[in-house]
Structure 1
Amino acid sequence: MASLFLRNQRFSLATLLLLLELLTVNLLMADAQIGVCYGMMGNNLPPANEVVDLFKSNNIRRMRLYDPNQAALQALRNSGIELILGVPNSDLQGLATNADTARQWVQRNVLNYWPSVKIKYVAVGNEVSPVGGSSWLAQYVLPAVQNVYQAIRAQGLHNQIKVSTAIDLTLIGNSYPPSQGSFRGDVRSYLDPIIGYLLYASAPLLVNVYPYFSYRDNSRDISLPYAIFTSPNVVVQDGQYGYQNLFDAMLDSVHAAIDNTRIGYVEVVVSESGWPSDGGFGATYDNARVYLDNLVRRAKRGSPRRPSKPTETYIFAMFDENQKSPDIEKHFGLFSPNKQKKYPFGFGGRCHGEVVINDFNATISLKSDM
């Protein structure tokens, strides 16, 4: 009887330890702030209701939409999926120059769906720059953001739904070392007032961060392991901060650039990041698989400069989109248009504590097309 009692006690202890481990896994997964961008530039993509079901069945709890597609918004009702709702660049001028237009936009695309659609952010414009091809739109970004914000504030929802815009890293003038990150001098008059608004509205800056393009364009100076999270050691030591991967270095250069404006503390949400599986230098299935898997794992933690809070990150994109150009843009999908997963990793269930390094080195040989 005594030995049976002890066996039962040991079993109970093992069960308790297992339950504690499962609880830890669930807590860590709850902290993993990963979403996926739902682009629609394909003529062979499944209908929106099937896409939302695909998000749910794969435990993807966050989505970015680039425009207020009504079928997608209807399908998102009561799904529990948090949403970045995009205002397309083509709408910026109208929203900026007419507050009534902004109120109507918010009524039609936000209020008509809230709260059954969990709209977390409204992204007013994507990758607008005051220099280059979209420069004529830059004058409209902040007024459009403000008009949309005021329409949401009038409904008392400004604490639940944050209004921002998404930028890319061409607006960064210096990114190395990350602590010296700064915005380009010729974009400061555009960007500083936006950062000031974000500070006032307690909203984050949305930033598209792509180590792939930095690696592709600077492969002589940037190693593939550093770009895809598999470097076994710190590659860049920047004062007290050590960088083992390029994503963290790029992200912290944005944090530093914001800090170096001396406007105030503004959080950053990574509104796009991805790696193509075909179509260009370094764009291989294995490189994409390792980068994306490690990006999912990384989302439960912060960066060296902002370690206390997980980095909310959205992977680009849900599907390969055959109507995008140039060709490389067609190969960023996590899924094929027939809804089959391209990669074996998932978004929940198991907790992966570390970025894959040893397993990666032992089992596959990545091709960088070098």
Structure 2
Amino acid sequence: MVIQGLITLIFCVPIQKNADAQTGVCYGILGSNLPAPPDVVSLFKQYGIGSVRVYNGDLRVLQALSGSQVSVMVGVPNKDIPAIGKNPAAAQAWVQTNIRGFPGVNFKYIVVGNEINPSDPASASIAPFVGPAMANNYIAVSGSSIKVSTAVSTGLLGQSYPPSAGAFREDLAGYIGPIIDFLKTHSTLFLNTYPYLAYARDPGHISLEYALFTSPSAVVIDGPYQYQNLFDAILDAFYVALGKYRAPNVDIVVSETGWPTTGGLGATVDNARIFNNNLVKHAHGGTPRTTGKFIEAYIFDVIDEDQKSPELEKHWGVFYPNRQPKYPISFS
């Protein structure tokens, strides 16, 4: 998770047969005191976590996930994208090492890069290679059911309010267009979205209740659609934006969302409990524009990562490093 540009465990849950009907978690490893990967995978089994996002092909993590039946979203690090985008052989080599090298892992998605934005100096030189890298990885996993996409931030939207005005930034059309053209026939869009960050930056206009799924009534009325929470409003703004690119049937997977337990305005254990539990419940009902359609989402983060910065980035974990939960949550 990168803190930038935003619009604006009840325990011992049995594992469901259909992991797609569960909310997953993101498994970051930038911590000095994290439990060993096999212990983290045991945690997944204990709490009925059926899907996980990992950010690179870490050998220890993938070995621990082998044979677990946990559905895995694995990332291609941003730094590797140019080489893979330039050379199909590099994509074949990446897939051989990180996918075919672990036949016991239940891979579902490959995420080519995280929050690449051409207007961000840190990733501007990488952006031209995201689309080609997605295409090369898609060819490299040909014959499998693995979907290939990229994870974007809400910063790619130029318009987001009301949701029916949702539109991608015009200055990024050369970047976004080819990606969406690929997704139309091959995959789904991965979106990192954090209602917490929108609330913390503008509490005068975004209420805590609207961000936490606890508003008692509609806050935004947009034609026939009524919004009681910011999460839905963001997703529907993206669905509208996709429609303007003639891609109304491209699904969205929420590849990161969550709530911190300390380090900022409204960052408390209780608010994190409320948001994440409400997210799990709400995921089964869809958004106003996708009523009744399950929202596949991944909570950031499974365990606090104390090597991240700034301070707020360190406190998104659902569990402490000793594997004890910070608060009760059910993932199903």
TM band (smaller chain):
over 0.9
1:343 deviation in Å? Answer: 1.0
Is the aligned partner of 1:253 residue 2:241?
no
2:29 to 21, 24, 40: 40
1:125-183 Cα distance to aligned partner (Å, 9 max, x none): 00000101211110111111111111111xx11xx100000000000111111111000
Q: TM-score, normalised by structure 2?
A: 0.92
Question: In 1, distance between residues paired with 2:158 and 2:277?
Answer: 30
Identity of aligned residues (%): 48
Q: Could you say if the C-alpha distance between residues 98 and 27 of structure 1 is closer, same or farther in structure 2, counting changes exceeding 3 Å?
A: closer
1:57 deviation in Å? Answer: 0.7
2:319 to 322, 335, 343: 335
Question: In 2, distance between residues paired with 1:223 and 1:296?
Answer: 21
Listed as ranges, the matches of 1:81-160 within 5 Å are 81-114=70-103, 116-133=104-121, 134-153=123-142, 156-157=143-144, 160=145
Question: Please, which runs of 5 or more residues in structure 1 have no aligned partner?
Answer: 1-24, 349-370
Flag the structure with more relative contact order, 1 or 2, with Cα contacts below 8 A and sequence separation at least 6.
Answer: 2
1:169-217 Cα distance to aligned partner (Å, 9 max, x none): 000111111111000111111011100001121x100000100011111
Provide the residue aligned with 2:6 in structure 1.
none
Provide the residue aligned with 2:303 in structure 1.
319
| Corresponding pairs, count | 318
Is the aligned partner of 1:51 residue 2:44?
no
Question: Please, which runs of 5 or more residues in structure 2 have no aligned partner?
Answer: 1-13
Question: In 2, distance between residues paired with 1:260 and 1:94?
Answer: 31
1:301-351 Cα distance to aligned partner (Å, 9 max, x none): 211111242000000000110000111000100001111101112224xxx
Q: Could you say if the C-alpha distance between residues 192 and 317 of structure 1 is closer, same or farther in structure 2, counting changes exceeding 3 Å?
A: same
1:101-123 Cα distance to aligned partner (Å, 9 max, x none): 11011011111223x21100000
Secondary structure at 1:106's aligned position in 2? helix
Q: Could you say if the C-alpha distance between residues 26 and 271 of structure 1 is closer, same or farther in structure 2, counting changes exceeding 3 Å?
A: closer
Provide the residue aligned with 2:146 in structure 1.
161
Question: In 2, distance between residues paired with 1:205 and 1:110?
Answer: 21
Is the radius of gyration larger for structure 1 or structure 2?
1
1:188 to 154, 170, 173: 173
1:237 to 213, 217, 221: 221
Provide the residue aligned with 1:62 in structure 2.
51
Question: In 1, distance between residues paired with 2:292 and 2:192?
Answer: 21
Question: In 2, distance between residues paired with 1:180 and 1:283?
Answer: 30
Is the aligned partner of 1:221 residue 2:209?
no
Question: In 2, distance between residues paired with 1:29 and 1:91?
Answer: 32
1:340-366 Cα distance to aligned partner (Å, 9 max, x none): 101112224xxxxxxxxxxxxxxxxxx
Provide the residue aligned with 1:351 in structure 2.
none
Is the CA contact (8 Å cut-off) linking 1:33 and 1:310 kept in structure 2?
A: no
Secondary structure at 1:37's aligned position in 2? strand
Provide the residue aligned with 1:173 in structure 2.
158
Aligned AA for 2:155?
A: T
2:267 to 269, 275, 283: 283
Q: TM-score, normalised by structure 1?
A: 0.83
Aligned AA for 2:164?
A: S
Question: In 1, distance between residues paired with 2:331 and 2:147?
Answer: 25
Greater helix fraction, Structure 1 or Structure 2: 1
Provide the residue aligned with 1:310 in structure 2.
294
